Copies of this chain bind each other. A is one copy, B any other.
Amino acid sequence: MNGAEALIETAIRAGIDICFANPGTTELPLMAAMDAVSGMHAVLCLFEGVCTGAADGYGRMSGRPALTLLHHGPGLANGIANLHNARRARTQLVNIIGEHMTWHRDANPPLATDIASLARPVSAWVHTASNSQSLAAEFADALSAACSCNGQVACLIVPMDCQQGAAASPAALKPAQPPPQPSAERLAGARRVLRAGQPSAILLGGPHALSKRGLAAASRIAAASGCRLFCETFPARMERGAGFPVVEKLPYFPEQALESLSPFAHLILAGAGVPVAFFGYAGHPSRLIPQGTHQTVLADPEEDAVTALEELADDLDAPDRGPVASESRPARPNGELTPRSLGEAIAAVQPEGLIVVDEALTSGLPYFLASASAPPFTYLTLTGGSIGHGLPCAVGAALACPDRRVLAFEADGSGMYTVQALWTMARENLNITTVICSNRGYRILRLEMARAGITHPGPQSQGVTELSRPALDWVALARGMGVPGVRVETADAMVDQLGRVLNEAGPCLIEAII
């Protein structure tokens, strides 16, 4: 057995059976090991940003560590943007990054790079393998790091000779560091606040507080205390719809977020950090706690927020069940296709158990509002602001949950960043419906321009927000990668087409002209 085989066998024993891969020469022994050791499926992505975004989606939906295989510094570099999102989502994720033979590095061949310097900003754990005998154990360390502290990104850099050299056996799996339990002081503090009877809100965040268990506990707390429930602006994963409590999303712009929270004397943080403005705006604060609102931490993002919520509910003698939404869909929209009618169209037809990956940005908010009482579904968003996340994330979510349908709700500008994901949807025949909100512009940037006082942008400023010269033809792009597509221009057509394709197997794309 060689080092590569010991590593892959270790991964399989840890329950990992998918690797999002774009290998090169220095990763070939690892690829050969995936054939020598059975049980690992390499999912080819035609760009590494697709590998890492898919791994993020896979990790969020499977709850198990996701695995990528990347080629050298440039291969990692192409994947960094989506690793940034995964880091912010606290996704359990291990990247294996191939590297030159140890004896070849000093020669400074063309691909040589400082891989660790590239990895560090997006990783909690970075290590270069030392030899073939220890490789599997070093991989077990990477896995342990990825599963620690509520989920982290780990990067293991593996020189080619460490893959090829002999190894005795796979490595024993190592325990992860579990998230710290809520402290008695914090529980008591939150209980005190909620019992005092002043207007209070809980901000739910992190990878677990918006789960079925976390939401059930939050709903009980709301029933016992009358507090309101909010979630972070960009939740990593959230269960939604009928059967779940109604949770408001903290608005994106700081003045709106502050206004949302201003009625409350207390804000309790449960798995969420202090809310922070996405960008700094002159005259607006960075930290979005209104003056007069007191913040109380129940659980930090790296702590066990679910247990904290459950213990708090018990401490409050909350009822066994709190209020939840009953199923109610918006009426089938008709007429013009706008962000609002598009959102209503999706909510009107979405099946139970859908996984919605929302990278629709400016076009996405009306859907969030329209889908509050849709049949129960899972909602994933762009946690780190690094666009090009949605299509790859949908790939990973579909592979993690082959029995569920996935909707990639995508902006045109963001979608172009990792458009190669469509090909992997076709190759793996994934049940993903991609809806492109084709507004032919970087609309968020136009809004931000107005906020920055650029009310009459000149041709240079205007030009960089326009995707209209030429207009992208998403149906042609999809066809180019083996995905059937259709263009819709009215709300009626949207409802009809979406209803149709959600019942068909395999990937499909709908270009919604809004």
Contact = CB atoms under 8 A, between A and B. Distances in A.
A147 interface: no
A463 B42 contact: yes
A113 B41 CA distance: 32
A237 interface: no
Interface stretch (A97-105, A138-146, A219-227, A348-356): A97-105
B28 A452 contact: yes
Nearest to A26: B279
Interface residues of A, number: 102
A390 to B, nearest CB: 14
A114 B444 CA distance: 24
A32 B477 contact: no
The 9 closest A-B pairs by CB, nearest first: A35-B458, A104-B280, A470-B482, A101-B280, A477-B480, A74-B386, A476-B480, A77-B80, A107-B286
B427 A470 contact: yes
Interface of A: 21-26, 28-29, 31-32, 34-36, 40-42, 44, 46-47, 49, 72-74, 77-78, 80-81, 84, 88, 100-101, 103-104, 106-111, 113-115, 117-118, 120-122, 160-161, 164, 234, 273, 276-280, 282, 286-287, 383-388, 413, 416-417, 419-420, 423, 426-427, 444-445, 448-449, 452, 454, 457-461, 463-464, 466-467, 469-477, 479-482
A110 B457 contact: no
A108 B88 CA distance: 11
A366 to B, nearest CB: 22
| Copies of the chain in the assembly | 2
Nearest to A23: B464
Contacts of A460: 31, 34-35, 40-42
A20 to B, nearest CB: 11
A147 B460 CA distance: 26
A84 B448 CA distance: 32
A317 B276 CA distance: 72
A277 B117 CA distance: 24
Given A77-B84, A118-B118, A473-B480, A46 B413 contact: yes
